[in-house]
Chains A and B, each alone.
Chain A
Amino acid sequence: MIGWLLCLPSFLVIGLGFLWPAAILLRMSLNRTDDIGAMQPDLTIATYARLLDDDMMPGLAGDTILLAAGCAAMAVTLAFPVALAIRAAPPRWRGPLALAAVAPLLVSGTARVIGWIAILGDSGMVNGALTLVGLPPQRLINNWTGVRIGLVESLMPYAVLVLIAGLGRLDARLEEAAATLGAGRLRTFLRVTLPLSAPALAAAFALTVVLGASAFVTPRLMGGGRVFVVATEIYDLALQTVDWPAAAALAVMLLLALGAAFALRGLLPRGRA
C-alpha cells in the first residue's frame, strides 16, 4: 500500500501529461473535418479513410521509411567502429571517449543543425573546399542530402550507446582465443566479433529506425521546407492547416507503424550473446 502511495505523485504527472493527452489524441482522430475546414465532433474513421485515400500518402510514407532505414543503417555502421574503439581503449580513457561520443545528445538538435548549415551550406566549409580546388559547388542543404547527413549524425550517439551496452557483454577472451589459434585480424573480426555483435547491431538499428522515422527538427531545418516526411506533415497539419483530426489520425498511424516495426523485431531470431 505504502508503495502505491509513494508512486502516486509521479503517476499523477504521467497520468495528466501522458495518459490523458494520449486518450484525447485518439479521440480527436475519430472526429472529422467538414468542407470548410472546421472540426466536427463525431465518432468515425472518416479522417483515417481520407488520409489513406490521399494521393500524397504513399510517397510520404515511402520517403519516411527509406529515410529512416537508410540513415539508421548508416548510423549503426559508423557507430560500430566507435563502439569497438571505446571498448578496446584503456579503462581510464573509456569514460571520456564514451562521453565524447554521446555528447551530441547533450547539445540541442537545433544547434547541431546550425553547425551543419555552416559545413554544408552554399558558403560552407565543403563548398569552400570544392571551389578552392576548382570543382563546382554542390547543393548539400535544403534538400534530401542535407537531411540524410544531419539525421545520420543525430542518430549515431543512440547507436553508440546501444552498441557499448551490447558489446560490454561480449567476452574478449573469445577474440583472444581466435587470435591464439592463428586467426588474423580480419578473420577474427568476421568470424568472432561480428557474429557476436549481431544482436547489439540489430538492437541499435531497431532503435535508430524508430527515432529516425519520427525525427522532426532535422528534416524540417535541413530540408529547408522542401523535404516532406510524416513528422513534418503532422506538424503542418496541427499548426499550419489546423486540421486537428487529420494531425491526430496521422500521429496514430505513425505510432501503429512504429509499434509494428518493434513487433517485427521481436520475431527476428536473437543471437546467443
Chain B
Amino acid sequence: MNRAGPRRPGPVVIAGALAGFLLLLAPAVVVATVSFSSGEFLAFPPPGLSLRWYVTLLGNAEILSALATSAILASTVAMLSLLLGLPASYAIARLDFPGRGTIATLLAAPLLLPTLVLGLALLLALQPLKLVATWPGLVLAHCTVAVPFAVRIMTTAIGSVPAELEAAARTLGASPLRAALRVTVPLAAPGVLAAAALTFLVSFDETVISLFLVGPRLTTLPVELFRYAENRTDPMLAALSMMLIVIALTIVLLVERAAGLTRTLSKE
C-alpha cells in the first residue's frame, strides 16, 4: 500500500492540533516571558528584560509568608492523604467486603462538587467552630479534595500488583499485615509517589476553596495571587505565577523521572 495510512492524520487535523496546542500553552509561555519584563505593565512583548519583578517579589514579606504557608500546608496535606488514604486504597483494591462499592463511590464524591460550592459549605460549617483562617480548617478543607485523588491513584496502583505475590508471602509464613506492607505496598511505590505529588499539587494550587477559608493572618500563595490580580496588573503577577508554575513543574518532572507520572495517570 503506497498511500498514506489512515492513522496518519491529514493536514487539517494537524493544523487543528497545532492551533489547540498553541492555545493550551500560550498563557504559560507568555507568563514566563512577561515575568522577566523591565516595564511597568503586563505588556507583551515586554519593552526590555530584567529581573526587577523577581527582586520586588522576594522583597514582599506577605507573599513570602504566603509561600511558606502554602508549602507547609501542601506537604502536610500530601502526607496525611497518603497515611489516611493508603489503608482505604488497599481495602478497596484487595479485600472483598460488603459496601465496598459504596465506600469507593463516597470517597470520590467530593470531586463531583464544584470547588466553589464545597468552599462555601466548608465556610458555613467551620465558621461556628471558629476554624476559619486556622491551620486545622485549611488542612481539613484541602484533605477533602486531596484524599479522593490519593485513594483513586493508589487503588489503581495496588490493583495492578499481582495478588499472587502477596499470596506467596502468606504461604511462606508472613502475616497479612507483613505481606501487605513488605510486598504489595513497595511494589505499588510508583503509584504512591505519584499520589503524593498530585495531592501536594492539588493543595499547593488550590484557590477557590481557600478563598472562603483564609483570613488576614493566614493566607495561601494562590489566594494572594488571586487577590493581587483582582486589584492590579503589573509584571510581579507574572513573576508570582512563574513561582507557582516552576514549583509545580519541578514536582511533576521529579515524579516523572522517579515513577513515570504519565504512565501512572494513563492507567486510570
Contacts and interface: CB of A to CB of B under 8 A. Distances in A.
Interface of A: 1-7, 9-14, 16-18, 20-22, 24-25, 28, 78-82, 84-86, 88, 95-96, 98-101, 103-104, 106-119, 121, 123-125, 128, 152-153, 156-157, 160, 172, 175-176, 178-180, 185-186, 188-189, 211, 214, 216-217, 220-221, 225, 231, 234-235, 238-239, 244, 247-248, 251, 254-255, 258
A11 to B, nearest CB: 7
Contact of B245 (A107, A225, A255): A107
B113 A3 contact: no
Contacts of B230: 220-221, 225
Interface string B127-148: 0000000000000110110011
Given A3-B100, A10-B84, A95 B262 contact: yes
Interface residues on B, range: 35 or more
Contacts of A152: 23
B28 A21 contact: no
A106 B151 CA distance: 19
Contact of B17 (A21, A81, A103): A81
Given A21-B125, A217-B208, A104 B5 contact: no
Contacts of B92: 7
Given A111-B28, A111-B225, A121 B241 contact: no
A216 B208 contact: yes
B162 interface: no
A114 B31 contact: yes
Contact of B124 (A225, A235, A244, A258): A244
Q: Is the interface of B mostly helix, strand, loop or mixed?
A: helix
B165 interface: no
25 contacts: A9-B83, A10-B147, A17-B141, A21-B121, A22-B113, A78-B19, A84-B17, A85-B16, A106-B205, A106-B252, A108-B222, A110-B226, A111-B244, A114-B42, A115-B31, A117-B233, A128-B45, A152-B23, A156-B23, A178-B6, A179-B3, A188-B6, A216-B208, A221-B229, A251-B117
Contacts of A185: 6, 10
A119 B27 contact: yes
A238 B110 contact: no
Interface of B: 1, 3, 5-10, 12-17, 19-21, 23-31, 34, 41-45, 83-85, 87-88, 90-92, 95-97, 99-100, 103, 106-107, 109-110, 113-118, 120-126, 140-141, 143-144, 147-148, 151, 201, 205, 207-208, 211-212, 222, 225-226, 229-230, 233, 237-238, 241-242, 244-245, 248-249, 252, 256, 261-263, 266
Greatest chain B CB density within 10 A among A5, A12, A21, A176 is at A21
Contact of A6 (B23, B28, B90, B262): B90
A128 B212 contact: no
Contacts of A217: 207-208, 226
Contacts of B13: 81, 84-85, 88
Contacts of B121: 18, 21-22, 24-25, 251
A11 B225 contact: no
Contacts of B237: 114, 117
Contacts of B126: 21
A247 B249 CA distance: 36
